[in-house]
Structure formats: structure tokens, C-alpha cells
Structure 1
Amino acid sequence: MSSITPLRAAKGGAVSILSVLKDFGNFRAVDDVSIEIRPNEFFTLLGPSGCGKTTLLRMLAGFEAPSDDKILLDGTDISMLPPNKRPINTVFQNYALFPHMTVAENIGFGLKMLGKSAAEISSSVEEMLRLVRLENAGNRSVTQLSGGQQQRIALARALAPKPKLLLLDEPLSALDLKLRKSMQIELKRLQQETEITFIFVTHDQEEALTMSDRIAVLNGGKVLQIGSAPDIYEHPADRFVAGFIGETNFLEGDLMSSADGVGTVALRCGPVVEALTAKSVASSGAVTIVVRPEHLELVAPGSPQAVDATVEQIVYFGTDTHVHARLSDGTALTIRQQNRPGPKEGIAVGRTIGVTIPPRVAQILKD
């Protein structure tokens, strides 16, 4: 059973998922998941396809019931409440707008179903149009809107009844890259202005890192780590989290000593490095360290405490360049360099480069 104490908040929107299980026949989609989501938080469920994130979202919405234990909203068990009895709205991947209705009619639909007066609906629709910055679009058909505008209308419709909780099921996946990036900023703004708890489901690490107050990383139906974006990126709990969140280099070595959160590791490829460690890591023995590409430094081949590698590919991304190289033992490395004006270093495919790991930028992973 979970040790979580259910949250109860004055404004509402506190969620406690307590040791929840969900089985489909013999397949366990969600396995003993416990998560505490704070009121007015932008919380993301992140993981690959089949990890259980969408099933968890569907249980929050009321479209699926837990096989065991419960889900609380502001301290009240909602596990068996039907969707229409929950103060929760959902924005789906396909938006689900009504094509025969105007923008204003779409936004006001939920309020109409709740029996609100025409004056209340009109006032709320105007408020929502201002919130999503589409003040003059009320009389337009939703079929005349761009993908980004339709996304905003779907959000406005979901927010109009002022739910305690807004669920977002990969709502940005159909947008092009530039629009997706702008909508990430827009979603975060909307969450902050409305002070509604947002629970966002995605497989996109960049979306999660950009928008979230906290992230839960799931795999195989289990929660592997919960933390802020910097916590998860800089201090991954295990090899899966490290590899799933952004680009990562893994290097094998032997832990020689450890004290005060820092370990000295003799890498199999040669150098001795200082790496951050966790209390749960043993004081000696074989270990794996993880180091992000932006923390590696290029030096002349043969430099002290450097390991030589052969450049296999150079990929230009505009703001930075990724150098893909390989060590003599076959280990692949990615080095990320920020692009600056002026002459470039003489790095070319087939050349030998030196790579160093500065002190305390790598992390020792626990077994």
C-alpha cells in the first residue's frame, strides 16, 4: 500500500493516486502506481508507448476503473464516479470540436449541458476567448480555423466550466514543430493564469521538460521517477530514465572511492573521473556513469585525462552541432557543441579527437 497522505486543498485540484492497479485480462497496464499531484500544478505523465500513461489518464477521467485501490480528488474517492459526475475535463489529441457549431457555441457547449443561463454562457465564452487570445473568432466556424486555433478552442471549451482538473492526452502531437513549440508556451501560460491543475500525457521528452512543474516517468506500468524537469534530466534514477530523457552517453568503469556525494571512477576506456553519486550506490565495484553530450569537452588527441575517439558523423542543428564519435572499444559517444560565430575547429569525419569529462558533471547510476 502507498505511504502517501492524500492532499486536501482549499482551491481544489489535489490528486492522490494510491497504489492503483489496472489489469486487462492477464495484462497489467498499471502496476501499483502511487502519485501525489499538488493543486494548481502542471504535472506530466511521460513515457513510451504502452507504459501505462494513457490508461492512468483514462482512470482519472472515469473512462476506466482501477482494478484495485483508489484515486482521490481533494481527499474524496472518485474511483467509481462516472465521468459526468467528476469536476474534470479532458482535451483529446483530435480536439473533438463540433464542426456544425460556431467557435462560441463550441466553447459554451459544456456550460449549456450544465444548465447555465444564456447570460452566464455568453460571459464565460467572452472570458475564454480573451484567455486564448481569439477575441474576434466567436462567430466563425471551427472548420475555418488553423490547427493551432482549433487547439486553443478545444482548450477554451474544456476550461469554460472551470474544472478542478484538466487532463490533456497528447494534444500537441498533430501540430507542426514550430506551432507545437509555441503551443507549449501557450499551455503553460493558460495553466498559470487559470490556476487549474493540468495533467499532461506525452511521449515527447521536450514537451515534458518545457512545460512541467513536475514529471512522472513511467515504463512497463510502473513509475520510475518523479521530480522536476532539472531533477530528472540531471539526476536520472536509473538507466532507462537517463536514456529516455534526452541524449545520453553511458560509460562503464570501477568505483574506486566515494564520499560526500562524489565518487572517483576509473573508466574502462582509460580516464579517471569525479562523478556525482547517490547514497544508494555501493562504495566500490563496477558502475555505469551517465554524462550528457553538452558536458563533454573536445581537446587535442592524447591530452591528459582524455580518451581518443574517431569522428563518425557531424550533425548541424543551427544552435549547436552534434559530433558522433566512437572509442577504440566500440563505445559510441555524442558530443554537443554550441555554435558560435567565427572559424570552426578542425573536426571532420574520420579524424581522431580527444574527449574529456569535467569533474562532477557525470552521475553514477545505481544498479
Structure 2
Amino acid sequence: MRDSSDMGESKVLSAVTLAGVAKFFGTFKAIEGIDLTIRQNEFFTLLGPSGCGKTTILRMLAGFETPSSGEILLDGRDISRLGPNQRPVNTVFQNYALFPHLSVAQNIGFALKMLGRPRPEIRDTVEDMLALVQLSGRGDQLVTQLSGGQQQRVALARALAPRPKVLLLDEPLSALDQKLRKTMQIELKRMQRETGITFVFVTHDQEEALTMSDRIAVLSNGALRQVGSPHEIYNHPVDRFVADFIGETNLLTGKVIRQDGDCAHVVLPGGVTIEAQCPHAVSAGSEVTLAVRPEHCTLAGPEAPLSGFIEQVVYFGTDTHFHLRLPGGAPLVLRRQNAADGRALPQQGETVGVALAPSATRVLRD
């Protein structure tokens, strides 16, 4: 599989490279032979549903699991068979794993003490880390006296203190409430940018991945489906799985009439022909799946070739979702931002014209 954001890859220094990495547990193949490059100083996210293999990859990067085949390179050095304590990689776990009997400063400085760093260096580094995670002045408190969000910041500071080349984050936001999660998403990205350390983040939450990442790898059943920037993953999904997993999307079926370069002319079951982006070759007469996001569908006048019957109108405050039924029976969700001018919106039971932006309607690979 080709990385959709690998233009000029040779000019970008890699931090981590997975070359043909596979992992078996008995006869079960958890990870297929995958090739993946994670760049230096980037926020890289492994995204996918439970059981897709993202945590297995993280554990192999950390040294807790050994690849069944293939190599893991860090700055060009093969670390596949090195133990966790032999590689310049740290991990932040879901449960933080802090020492409850130690103070905040002692927790942060623990790894530095184990490495035999001088006391003045440990003291200065701890102060720097407290400032980085915005906990200056809290070093003497026990971690049990802190909130969940503050404990997470201590766990991050402890992992960052030894200046690892790569920081692995195993769904560290999962235990936080929604408002705090959003705050910490911004904070994590800030910390990555300020430290310049490569972050590898594991999550099943699409919003987290889109919000924080420089690039995202989408996984399913142990295989890479697509690698690219949040914009590429969201707006240019390569297949049905990625389109359906990332955000909300409409999936329509149709038959190809012809293809002109990167544009395919597709007839929908109701008989209306539309244009769609199609960067791969398709043959005339073939059945295809189209993806179009609800925000890329617009209400049009009655003269529009495509129409839809409004089955439900759902108000979300910032926008309104119209659940339509197209000729031929296909469902379609149309999202419209709410205006402050009080304009009347179409109501349930009405038939409205629908326009699908050709630049945002995409023919998916099988």
C-alpha cells in the first residue's frame, strides 16, 4: 500500500521504519507484513477499531512484543530484538502507572534517577517538565492529591523527562471526561511541538486522530488501509472501510458510464448521472461505490436533476441534518450550517433538489 502523503519522502528524515513487520500469536495473524515510515518530529496516529492491531504495533515499538518477521528501525538502527530498556523509547499507558507514595517531582525524576543522572540535572529537568505540563509549583504534592487530568500530565512529564527519541501513547485520554479530553488534545499537540519529540499515538477515536495528528495510519484486521494527513484521510479515502470509519459519510452505489481522466460519470439507481473523482481506472459498466460527506451535499432548486424526499430533520444547533431518500431507495444525509437570518428550512415530507459536489464525490476502490 502506498502512503498517500509520501511526496518528497526521501527529503524527510525518518524516526521509525517498519519493514515487512508481521506478528503471529499462535496461528492468529495479528499484523500482516506492513511497511510504514514515521517521520522525525511528527505526531503520528495509529487509528482503527478494537482488534485492528494498533496496540500490537505499539507494543512492538516499545519492545514488549517481538515481530514474528520483518524489522523495526529507529534512526536506521534495527531495534527489533532489543528489550524495552535498551531502546530510547518511552510509553504513556492508559492507567498512567504513577507511584502513589512519591511526590509529583519524584515521579517525574524517577527515570532520570535510575539512569544515574546528577542531582542538579534531575532538579532542573523536573522544573522544566513541570513548566511544560503547566504544573509549576506542584512538585511537592503527592500524585494522589491531583485530579485525573493533572495525573495524566505528570505521566507525560515523567515519560518526556529522559528526552526519548520516540514517545508512545496508548489511548492516554480514554479515562478523561469529554471536556478535559478536548483540552488535553490541544495540550498534547503543544507538548509535541515544543519538545520536537516524535509522538506515536494509539486511538480508536477519529476526532482525536483528526484533531492532533500530522499523519494518520488507518488499520483494519492487522493491515494498513491508508496513510496520510487528516485532510487526505477525511477527504480522499481510498476504500469503503476508510470512508465509513472516518467521520460520517454517504455511500452510494452506481454504474460507470465512462471515465475521463480522473473523472467518472456514474448513473445512480434512480437514473440520474453524476460526476465523481476517480483517480484509479474503472471500466464502463462496472458497479462502484461512491463516497460523499454530508457537508458536501447541498440543497438545490426543484430544477436539479437529483432530488430527495425528506424523511427526517435533525437540529444540532450549529447545523441541521436532513435525512433524505433518493429515487431508487438510497438514503442520503445532507448537512447544512444554520444561518442567523431566520430563513425557513425544508421540512419533513417535502421533496427537495440535491447537488453533490463533483470534487468531493469519490469513487472508492473495492
Matching of residue 173 in structure 1 with residue 174 in structure 2? yes
5+ unaligned residues in a row in structure 2: which ranges?
Answer: none
Q: Could you report, residue by residue, the CA deviation over 1:56-100 in whole angstroms, capped at 9, with x for unpaired residues? A: 100000011111111110111111111011100000111111111
Quick one: distance in 1 between partners of 2:137 and 2:343? 50
Residues 8, 74 of structure 1: 8 Å contact kept:
no
Quick one: distance in 2 between partners of 1:183 and 1:13? 26
Residues 270, 307 of structure 1: 8 Å contact kept:
no
What is the aligned partner in structure 1 of residue 339 from structure 2? 340
Q: Could you report, residue by residue, the CA deviation over 1:181-213 in whole angstroms, capped at 9, with x for unpaired residues? A: 111111111111111110000001111111111
Aligned pairs for 1:299-318 within 5 A: 299-300=300-301, 302-312=302-312, 314-318=313-317
Residues 310, 322 of structure 2: 8 Å contact kept:
no
Report the number of matched residues. Answer: 362
Q: Could you report, residue by residue, the CA deviation over 1:141-174 in whole angstroms, capped at 9, with x for unpaired residues? A: 2122222211111111100000000000001111
Query: How big is the alpha-carbon RMSD for the aligned residues of Structure 1 and Structure 2?
Result: 2.3
Quick one: distance in 2 between partners of 1:275 and 1:316? 29
Question: Structure 1 stretch 345-354 or stretch 80-89: which is displaced more?
Answer: 345-354
Quick one: distance in 2 between partners of 1:8 and 1:263? 33
Residues 20, 31 of structure 1: 8 Å contact kept:
yes
Quick one: distance in 1 between partners of 2:2 and 2:333? 40
Quick one: distance in 1 between partners of 2:282 and 2:219? 22
> What is the identity, as a one-letter code, of the residue corresponding to 1:304?
A
Aligned pairs for 1:11-50 within 5 A: 14-50=15-51
5+ unaligned residues in a row in structure 1: which ranges?
Answer: none
**CA spacing shift, 1:281–1:108, aligned 2, 3 Å:** farther
- SS at 2:359's partner residue? coil
**CA spacing shift, 1:38–1:282, aligned 2, 3 Å:** farther
> What is the CA-CA distance between 1:356 and the residue it aligns to?
2.0
Quick one: distance in 2 between partners of 1:56 and 1:119? 37
Residues 315, 321 of structure 2: 8 Å contact kept:
yes
Instruction: Report % sequence identity.
Output: 58
**CA spacing shift, 1:8–1:15, aligned 2, 3 Å:** farther
Question: Structure 1 stretch 186-195 or stretch 145-154: which is displaced more?
Answer: 145-154
Residues 107, 125 of structure 1: 8 Å contact kept:
yes
**CA spacing shift, 1:200–1:349, aligned 2, 3 Å:** same
Residues 93, 170 of structure 2: 8 Å contact kept:
yes
What is the aligned partner in structure 1 of residue 326 from structure 2? 327
> What is the CA-CA distance between 1:347 and the residue it aligns to?
3.1
- SS at 2:46's partner residue? strand
Query: What is the TM-score with the length of structure 2 in the denominator?
Result: 0.93
Question: Structure 1 stretch 55-64 or stretch 253-262: which is displaced more?
Answer: 253-262
What is the aligned partner in structure 2 of residue 271 from structure 1? 272
Residues 296, 356 of structure 2: 8 Å contact kept:
yes
